[in-house]
Amino acid sequence: MLVKLLKGDPLEEQSLAERGTENLLLYAPEAGGCQAGSRFLEDTKVIRKSAKEQLRRPSRLRFVDNGIMTTPAGENVVPQNCTVALLGFGTVGSSVARILCERSNPHLRLTHILNRNVARKKVDWLPSSVQWTENIDDILSSSTDIVVEVIGGLQPTEEWIRRALQSGKSVVTANKQLIARSGAELLALARQMKQQIQFGASVAGGVPVISGLQEGLAGDDLFRISGILNGTCNYILSQIESHGIPFATALREAQKLGFAEADPTEDIDGLDARAKLAILARVGLHCQVNPESIVACSISAIDSIDFDYARQLGCTIRQISRAELKKTSNGNELFVAVQPALVDLASPLARVEGSQNLVVATGTYGGETVFGGHGAGGHPTAVAVVSDILAIANFKQRAQFEKPDVAPALEKTCAVTADFATRHYLRFSVKDRPGIIASLATILSHSGINIDSVLQKPDCPKSHLPFLITLEECKASLVEKALQQINTLDFMVQACLHLPIL
């Protein structure tokens, strides 16, 4: 690959491979600026200077055609062996071990596995050299380079990860709840100990969204991230939509097929997705947000009739996690929520079926970038874990000769709110009688809310009559305040279902 600077510059062309750089900057005079991937940066003078400084900086490594690293003197650099200890040998852990043992990489070696009841867990396809243990101290006192945590939970995993970093070991984890709550502290500890902690598998399983945000979109100014982050919810909603079955039936099918846990609360109530969204907000938008401060709404109130109404509006329903950073006169404001929502059928989010995940990142310069794929399962998640292991191994290799820049991005101070301004979907179930629409319209009007449309399916029982009101764009807080009064009216059979229309 070549970097091209201004015509006539003494550094008009330089081989990136020869300079050991991993960044690509293309100067395009005809485009009026510098191009990084598909993103244009307008300040050409700054970029030109940055590119020249980057190319003139002496590099201690070169890459020859066969991909072997060499020193400036031309001596080959022999890759060091990197040893790995695995905490947990469940679905993901066993898949990680299988990939490490089956892939041909003589410089990456699994040495330890920690699990309860190791006598029951041992398998014959692992090398006999792998040491099994039930004691974390056996791993922390060893010479292992990388500790991989795939046990889950907050404790004792957080304590173990801290001790691993303090003992000079880098860490890979797929633990979304831990990273969402303590990620910033663990990253700071890793930098203090000159180690790394990678967590690419903590969001969207095998989809490389974390590395995509950290590296692939580092040149953009991201201000919005939205997506489908929970495969269980997406599978259940897809089943309700395609088969017209009740929520409870779809949940039972998901549990039977292994897509939902015996206790599905964390998934269907949005708690799993909000932990992932907190991670994405920090990585992509550089906003630290406690997952408990993110509003999360359950999908359990969604019925097949909601998909009927959604289709009439040109939409479908998905559990959407979204975070949007807005700069106001009072500072930065982070709008963030996890909730079922109506999405336009033309949206990429509407086309996600089954247990797939999808993330859409929107930036000032690059527009929308979409990441999609399998968000769960042993093998997809294990691929993300092993990719993080390889990233750390490569980092350690480069660190022998260069001092990589691991300075953290500056995090913004943000006020957190769920008060998005959107159109709204209100599905009512009432005991039919004259004057219901008039009563609802009066309350909405007094709240400063305009009705956009009213839809009602024919031939529904009058004792439990469903109908739909859509609202013009307004803040969610106005609607919720009006619904507090509406839900007390004597003709209401059940609480109104309120969904945003995106």
| Residues forming the active site | 276
- Report angle CA 288, 290, 291 to the nearest 5 degrees: 120
Phi, psi (rounded to 5 degrees) for 331: 115, -165
Contact assessment for residue 113 and residue 90, using Cβ atoms and an 8 Å cutoff:
no
Contact assessment for residue 173 and residue 96, using Cβ atoms and an 8 Å cutoff:
no
Within a 10 A sphere around the Cβ of 195, how many other Cβ atoms?
Answer: 23
Provide the β-strand partners of residue 125. Answer: none
Phi, psi (rounded to 5 degrees) for 407: -65, 135
CA-wise closest residue to 278 among 176, 384, 208: 176
The whole-angstrom separation of Cα 108 and Cα 301 is 48
The whole-angstrom separation of Cα 72 and Cα 65 is 15
Tallying the residues shown for the chain, one arrives at: 502
**How many CA atoms does the CB half-sphere of 499 hold within 13 Å?**
29
* Dihedral in degrees, nearest 10, Cα atoms 488, 491, 494, 496: -70
Beta 197-198 vs 170-173: how paired, if at all? parallel
Torsional sign, CA 8, 9, 15, 21 = negative
Q: Cα dist. 380→95, 374, 385 in Å? A: 9, 6, 9
The amino acid sitting at 240 is I
The whole-angstrom separation of Cα 113 and Cα 131 is 6
The whole-angstrom separation of Cα 234 and Cα 259 is 10
CA-wise closest residue to 467 among 454, 480, 478: 454
322 contact partners, CB below 8 Å, separation of at least 6: 224, 225, 226, 227, 277, 335, 336, 337, 338, 420, 502
ω before 408 within 30° of 0 (cis)?
A: no
The whole-angstrom separation of Cα 215 and Cα 211 is 6
SS3 430: strand
